[in-house]
Structure 1
Amino acid sequence: MAARRALPNAHRDPASARRPGRQQSLGSWRRLAAIALSVAAAALAYAPPATATPIYPIADPDPFYWAPGDVGNFAPGDVIRSRPMPTGAYAGATAWQLLYRSSNSANQPIAAVTTVLIPAGGGLNRPIVSYQPFVNSLGMQCAPSHSLFNGTMQEAPALNLLLARGWAVAVPDHLGPTSAYGAARLGGRLTLDGIRAVKRFPPADLAGSPVGLVGYSGGGMATGFAAALAPEYAPELPIVGVAQGGVPVNIGKLARDVGLQPSPLFGLGFAAGIGLEREYPAELPMERILNPAGWALRDQVANACTQEIINAGANKGFNDVFYGNMFDADATTIRILHENSLETFPGVPRVPVYEWHGTNDQVDPWLAREVMGRYCASGTPVLLDLIPGADHGSAIFQGAPRAYGYLSDRFAGIPAPSNC
């Protein structure tokens, strides 16, 4: 078992909590969160007056995804339509996709999709795990509801491990109907409304099920926000535990830490800037700061999935695609970054949390430790698992089995351990 350090009950100077890390290899796309979100935050730091138009993805050609004209007449979490799905990759399971009502960051009604997988034997109010994958894309074809069934989801083997425990698994398209990559608070809301939809869908037979949340990296951001939003947004949901790993808790500070150097994964951060612009079109326009190369890159990745985005932006830097001072943030930009960063979001989970992080992660583990300390001070049981020597790419494999065991104990009613 990895070393588990006691958490502080109050904030410390972040500088005193920092530890030097070794230079990280960026060869694996699983290490994308650090560069991706830092580039996004810096790219949006200069926010001129809103006169531009965001570049939205091509609509999904499948009409199942289309919101009806009366979407606003449904309550958040209501199922609008459903369909069964083939389950070749998930032997013995039954699967449905649900289109449900939620709201975007401007509180406007939207329709979103979640996929629910039920182990053999049916629902029977068995535990539900809402699994938020790390999705780092701008095209609708890249959403989990597609990648679950076409063989492109990297985390698909984990879902079979959860099904093997007898749990139902809900997988929301937590980037929403415009693939707003980077909008973490939206991801939390979509996660909670997706759970509501699964519990309200009679064929699933999960209305009385307890709920656990799990996600890593970008999926951990959606998971963390779901946990922090739940006490006020969805207090009726019987969430018993949360497991989140490698979570970037402040994308603005991540931008400061990583800096302006070119990166093999620059395109992912640029894409996250596009995603945030989609979610806040009147407040975070990018067009006024794009140079001609930036315009070309924007057009090239607007409907792309992860690897295409990585290839298009490889080894670029801010000066290659932007005009202006990327770190001269105005009040509007700061507010939006705070709204989408767990460190500065005021909500606190009211259920037990397991947070795991590699000590050599480029996504600052010591800043995550401070956030968990704030949760502890608010009375939330937290188990922080700092994995010695692990970086962002390797920590997921070491922490995930512990995360599943942690949720299993919460479903069994075992008191939650804490190192607050």
Structure 2
Amino acid sequence: MSDGKARTWDVRGIAWWLPGLAVILSGVLLYSPFGVSLIEGRFVVAVAMLLLGASAAARWWMTRTDGEAPRRLVHARRSLGVEAVLAAGFGVLGIAASTMPVSLSLVWVGAFWIALGGCGLLAGARRDDVVVASAALAGWQVLAGAILATLPFRTGLDFTAWTILSLVSTGVAMVVRGVRLTAPLPRLSALRWWRPAAVSVQLIVLAVVAGWYGTVVTQAARQDAEQARLAAFYEVPQGVSPEPPGTVIRSSPMSLPGVNGRGQRILYWSQDRNGAPTVSSGMVWTPLTEGADRPILNFAHGTVSLGAECAPSRQSGIAASMPWLNDALGRGWVVAASDYAGAAGTGDGEHYLVAADQGRDTVNAARAARNLPGTGASTDMLIYGVSQGGLVSLAAAAQSPTYAPELHLVADAATAPASDIAGILRERPPQLLDGWAVVPFLTTQYAKAYPQLDPNALLTPQAAARNHELAEAGCAATPFAALFPRLTVIPGMGDYFKGDPLADPRWRRAFEDNRAPDMSPGTPVYLAQGLDDQLVPPKFTAALVERYCAAGTPVTTQWNPGVGHDNHNEKAVSPRVIQWFAAHLTKTPTPNNCPDPLPTR
């Protein structure tokens, strides 16, 4: 090395930047359809490990000396030798066990980074050393390994996301180090501000990452403990004979922060569209004061994912998605909310968007509320649903007069309803990420509800390989910080559908059979929609308004400019829906917007 102001070209930099480029390429391969298959993905990671081992071996060879070597160099050389052997061993292990379970894969990669970073730290890197890693890179590898090995979310998506991040960041650091060694650049040490600034940035990044991960782990541990406590409640009793729909199997008190009412978690009998008995869970809320002849507000929730712990009655933060709850309780109403049959641990997942099945689950939640002692529930029923629940609420309202004639349907409201599944799939809106984000719920559960349907008729091989995992990988209520890595991986996973999702006539017929049903004459309907909704495009709600109005159904509409498919829409809609319901309970006239022009047609 030169003692002047310029750094001379050093061949040893090649041992950094060349393997570094290959490691970056490995991360890019994972962020592609090639990485969707876990077997090929683990093979890519194993090859990257061998490349890192080769880099360490090349630097070990470059440290050979003919005479007495400095003690520090001998120490670094030993660490490089250990690093090379460990990296090669981990790589060979990964190739030999390429079908290892996901959980073991996370531990395998995590242990590799911890070992690699540990060798770098033990080597005692100095500022201008050319043969061992910088302390910052080694520290990052140890941190990345600890996160991977202890990650509370054990899915293939998590494995892919965090391994991509670890590979790319390590590869970039290696390339930068190699370029600095091989390019004749001025000494950075001449810039007195550089080193303290770099150290400060590294410490800030370390603190942020450690704080974030600590929060995720704490939340996950708290949630796991709570879900373990709740699991027994949702176990369906074995050997019991089915009872009439709406019969309560068991109930248990529940509370939610900020909710001014008495809550009960319930397990009750329901039915599917063919009349077969099913079991659903849900919630019933009553005002704090005693009362009788209370109207029932029957709520149909939106998409929450298929994991048992995702069901609304198992989520401590679910009240945030029900901003109208205290208003309804304050008016003296009973609130019933179904989880839908098969959810929460009562079966193998809800029949997602099978309108007739989930409509019956919703109606039977109102029956259960009436059968639950102490609610004071009357026969008057209001139904309110959002997104997925918007379709479910319309299906419940359409079935109610004949399926549950003992209940008096007063009015129905639906916000951004998924009223035309076939049309939405044909539209392929951007938020669907070509299917990956939402449609796994649909394809996995339709195949259960309709045994004649084969998901492989619709899905690419990479989608078929990950379909069930994606459907159960995370709850809508999971902190975004925990979901973010998965959401960043999905766009790199290639096409979800083979082509037109409606090309298969059996699937198309099933989707079309589950569009929003026609209403019984005279049933008032409130339809609300955000005009910037990219998941359920407004034109489908507009078409539903046209259809209902043409059939003589009185429709009140609310169009929200600048609002998408999110909680902002619900906050804008729910106060007016509650007031609209109250008007119908007192037989106060409400607007019929059928004559009004539609903003999106």
TM tier relative to shorter chain? 0.7 to 0.9
- Which structure has more relative contact order (CA 8 Å, sep 6+)? It is 1
Distance 1:138 1:316, change over 3 A: same
Matched, 1:196 2:370: no
**What amino acid maps onto 2:387 in structure 1?**
S
Paired with 2:537 and 2:240, the residues of 1 have a C-alpha distance of 40
Aligned to 1:412, which of 569, 586, 589?
586
Distance 1:239 1:262, change over 3 A: closer
Computing the radius of gyration over CA atoms, which structure comes out larger, 1 or 2? Answer: 2
Equivalence for 2:353: 182
Q: Which whole-Å deviations, capped at 9, do the CAs of 1:367-413 have from their partners, x for residues lacking one? A: 32222232233332211222334333343222221111100111112
Aligned to 1:223, which of 375, 390, 393?
393
Equivalence for 2:597: none
Equivalence for 1:372: 545
Q: How does 1:11-410 map to 2 (within 5 A)?
A: 62-69=231-238, 73-91=242-260, 93-147=261-315, 150-174=316-340, 176-177=342-343, 178-206=349-377, 208-258=378-428, 263=433, 266-280=436-450, 282-287=451-456, 289-292=459-462, 294-296=464-466, 298-299=468-469, 301-302=471-472, 304-306=474-476, 307=478, 311-312=485-486, 314=488, 316=490, 320=494, 322=496, 324-342=498-516, 345-346=517-518, 348=520, 350-362=522-534, 363-393=536-566, 394-410=568-584
**What amino acid maps onto 2:407 in structure 1?**
L
Paired with 1:89 and 1:278, the residues of 2 have a C-alpha distance of 38
Segments of 5+ residues of structure 1 without an aligned counterpart are 1-58
Note the C-alpha offset of 1:321.
Answer: 5.9
> Are the equivalent residues in 1 in contact too, given 2:292–2:376 (CA < 8 A)?
yes
**Larger deviation, residues 218-227 vs 383-392:** 383-392
> Are the equivalent residues in 2 in contact too, given 1:143–1:173 (CA < 8 A)?
yes
> Are the equivalent residues in 1 in contact too, given 2:432–2:438 (CA < 8 A)?
no
Note the C-alpha offset of 1:351.
Answer: 1.8
**What amino acid maps onto 1:385 in structure 2?**
Q
Q: Which whole-Å deviations, capped at 9, do the CAs of 1:177-235 have from their partners, x for residues lacking one? A: 323333333221110011111112232221x2421111221221211211122222223
Paired with 2:254 and 2:354, the residues of 1 have a C-alpha distance of 28
> Are the equivalent residues in 1 in contact too, given 2:385–2:393 (CA < 8 A)?
yes
**Larger deviation, residues 376-385 vs 306-315:** 306-315
> Are the equivalent residues in 2 in contact too, given 1:350–1:380 (CA < 8 A)?
yes
Note the C-alpha offset of 1:172.
Answer: 1.0
Paired with 1:323 and 1:338, the residues of 2 have a C-alpha distance of 18
**What amino acid maps onto 2:585 in structure 1?**
F
Q: Which whole-Å deviations, capped at 9, do the CAs of 1:96-128 have from their partners, x for residues lacking one? A: 222111123453211101211111112412222
Note the C-alpha offset of 1:87.
Answer: 4.9
Secondary structure at 1:392 match in 2:
coil
Task: Please identify which structure carries the higher helix content.
Answer: 2
Paired with 1:311 and 1:88, the residues of 2 have a C-alpha distance of 29
Distance 1:133 1:260, change over 3 A: closer
Q: What RMSD, in angstroms, separates the aligned Cα atoms of the two structures? A: 3.0
> Are the equivalent residues in 2 in contact too, given 1:71–1:101 (CA < 8 A)?
no
Q: Which whole-Å deviations, capped at 9, do the CAs of 1:1-39 have from their partners, x for residues lacking one? A: xxxxxxxxxxxxxxxxxxxxxxxxxxxxxxxxxxxxxxx
Paired with 2:431 and 2:585, the residues of 1 have a C-alpha distance of 45
**What amino acid maps onto 1:221 in structure 2?**
L
Aligned length: 355
Note the C-alpha offset of 1:167.
Answer: 1.7
**What amino acid maps onto 2:328 in structure 1?**
L
Q: TM-score, normalised by structure 1?
A: 0.75
Paired with 2:338 and 2:283, the residues of 1 have a C-alpha distance of 6
Paired with 1:133 and 1:182, the residues of 2 have a C-alpha distance of 11
**What amino acid maps onto 1:361 in structure 2?**
D
Paired with 1:329 and 1:185, the residues of 2 have a C-alpha distance of 24
Distance 1:376 1:235, change over 3 A: farther
Distance 1:154 1:87, change over 3 A: closer
Secondary structure at 2:263 match in 1:
strand
Paired with 1:107 and 1:256, the residues of 2 have a C-alpha distance of 31
Segments of 5+ residues of structure 2 without an aligned counterpart are 1-226, 344-348, 595-601
Note the C-alpha offset of 1:318.
Answer: 11
Paired with 2:460 and 2:240, the residues of 1 have a C-alpha distance of 35
